[in-house]
Chain A
């Protein structure tokens, strides 16, 4: 197996940049608008009935949680759909793999691009929450890197899913049975402490939960040694999904 060569990555990013330059308004609109809708609809709507959660205004609680919504939507969906379209419909990957690029470099290149983009998109809900009472802190500068590492694992997960399905319609199974539960059992809209204890156990394997916990630690100045566990979990998640993604894509692309 060929060694990983980082010199392949700029070319992959070049392709993504060319596509992004053409489609950024649409991509950005969806990635930014959707979490903001969640922020305003749930944060302000439900916030009219619920004053505070864990000592913070509900809208601030949801605003910081919406960061994870942005991260999930902006990473796992491109990982699934863009990868499937490029591989199955456009056959672009077949072309790329006839150049001195390996499947691992291709997947990592695409995932790092999506993660970098998500680092920006993920920070928007946090910034939008500041006028509603989120106090700016220097530690908030850690939110983009948190979004990056979370998105990296989730993009790999999307790539892995795209390698598992035969038809694009099958994504709906994963969306309903995996991604929606990931979001709702993560503490985005309500604290998971109120749920039965086993939810707490399950949440430890939920990358969205770790992302939200870290984002809130950074936003509320509560970074501690416990935060390191969340970082470790996200790194582990990215390592596992990255391995799975490369494995399944190699199987699909190298016959």
Chain B
């Protein structure tokens, strides 16, 4: 028997004055899966996250978290949620342990289980040896790890990660991916917003590309590639006039293309004659990737 979705968003809309941040958005996330919300800055990802926690009200539609309707049962919903916000909001002057103790109390972790929950969260954050350090003395990466550990303190069934690795260096990002991957493997449902393609590709089972407050594409990375950009791409380098010319030629034979600086990628060329492609200039072949899909779908202008 199929289980009900861990998160169900139906026609959710949020307006701030004239600006529509989330526009009739519908989405379902099945239990135990990791959904990557991939979108450019300002796409509506953080607003959507806040709508799921009930911190931003809906102008239309509905959201249910593990069968709790957010409009009428937001407290119950929040009790089964773990949240790692985009912006660090820990008490700076408290130690890592004190921050976690506070969170355990706020999340109503039973008193008898708090010590274990705090130790587990410190372990998750790999900060057991820095437990008594004030947060202000921790590095950016450690603070992020602590935020992730904190999100896990009440053994949530659904975790919301809002751009969990934004602004961090690649090494720290990779450390955090291990933690998030651990959460995912433990069976918790994860909804993670990001604008890092690699992050979404590595961690998410399923990706929803969000732009202008709407889900514009949904699927696994291979499904999205196949549906929007095909399997193979060729890249040409050269001056702008040459790239413009290639874009025109690609469009003429029904191929999509995307520009990136001094190069142009012509997408979905697996069934196109090699001779034709070679005649346009020196090229290099590569498999398509999620970035092709993302740029193609969210770019202001679609080439080809």
Q: Mark A76-107, 1 if CB is under 8 A from B, else 0.
A: 00000000000000111011111111100000
* Contacts of A1-49 to chain B: CB distance below 8 A: 2, 5, 7-8, 10-11, 14-15, 18-19, 22-23
Tell me whether B107 is interfacial, beta carbon within 8 Å: yes
Contacts of B56 in A (CB 8 A): 254-255
CB within 8 Å for A99 and B55 given contacts A2-B75, A90-B89, A255-B50: no
* B85-A10 in contact (CB<8A): no
* B55-A255 in contact (CB<8A): yes
Shortest distance in angstroms between B51's beta carbon and chain A's nearest beta carbon?
Answer: 10
Contacts of B57 in A (CB 8 A): 254-255
Contacts of B94 in A (CB 8 A): 18-19, 22
Tell me whether B91 is interfacial, beta carbon within 8 Å: yes
Q: Which residue of A lies closest to B98 (CB)?
A: A18
* B106-A99 in contact (CB<8A): yes
Shortest distance in angstroms between B192's beta carbon and chain A's nearest beta carbon?
Answer: 15
CB within 8 Å for A92 and B81 given contacts A10-B105, A14-B101, A14-B102: no
Contacts of A91 in B (CB 8 A): 85, 87-89
Q: Which residue of B lies closest to A86 (CB)?
A: B91
Contacts of A94 in B (CB 8 A): 55, 85, 87, 89
Choose among A10, A92, A102 the residue that contacts B91 (Cβ–Cβ < 8 A). Answer: A92
Tell me whether A239 is interfacial, beta carbon within 8 Å: no
* B98-A95 in contact (CB<8A): no
Choose among A2, A7, A22, A23 the residue that contacts B108 (Cβ–Cβ < 8 A). Answer: A7
Contacts of A99 in B (CB 8 A): 78-79, 103, 106-107
* B55-A98 in contact (CB<8A): yes
Tell me whether B93 is interfacial, beta carbon within 8 Å: yes
Interface size on B, residues (CB 8 A): 31
Q: Which residue of B lies closest to A12 (CB)?
A: B106
Tell me whether B26 is interfacial, beta carbon within 8 Å: no
Tell me whether A253 is interfacial, beta carbon within 8 Å: yes
Contacts of A15 in B (CB 8 A): 91, 102
Tell me whether B83 is interfacial, beta carbon within 8 Å: yes
* A19-B91 in contact (CB<8A): yes
Interface size on A, residues (CB 8 A): 27
Q: Mark B50-67, 1 if CB is under 8 A from A, else 0.
A: 100111110000000000
Q: How far is the CA of A11 from the CA of B83 in the complex (A)?
A: 17
* B55-A100 in contact (CB<8A): no
* A98-B53 in contact (CB<8A): yes
Q: How far is the CA of A5 from the CA of B92 in the complex (A)?
A: 27
Choose among B50, B88, B107 the residue that contacts A100 (Cβ–Cβ < 8 A). Answer: B107
Q: Mark B1-43, 1 if CB is under 8 A from A, else 0.
A: 0000000000000001000000000000000000000000000
Shortest distance in angstroms between B272's beta carbon and chain A's nearest beta carbon?
Answer: 49
Tell me whether B90 is interfacial, beta carbon within 8 Å: yes
Contacts of B74 in A (CB 8 A): 2
Shortest distance in angstroms between B68's beta carbon and chain A's nearest beta carbon?
Answer: 11
* B93-A19 in contact (CB<8A): yes
Taking A23-B93, A100-B108 as given, write out 15 further A-B residue pairs in contact, using a Cβ cutoff of 8 Å, ordered by the A residue number.
Answer: A10-B105, A11-B102, A11-B105, A14-B105, A18-B98, A90-B92, A92-B90, A94-B87, A99-B78, A100-B76, A100-B107, A101-B106, A253-B55, A254-B54, A254-B55
B residues lining the A interface (CB < 8 Å): 16, 50, 53-57, 74-76, 78-79, 81, 83, 85, 87-94, 98, 101-103, 105-108
- Contact sample, A vs B, 5 pairs, CB 8 Å cutoff: A5-B75, A8-B106, A11-B102, A14-B101, A98-B85
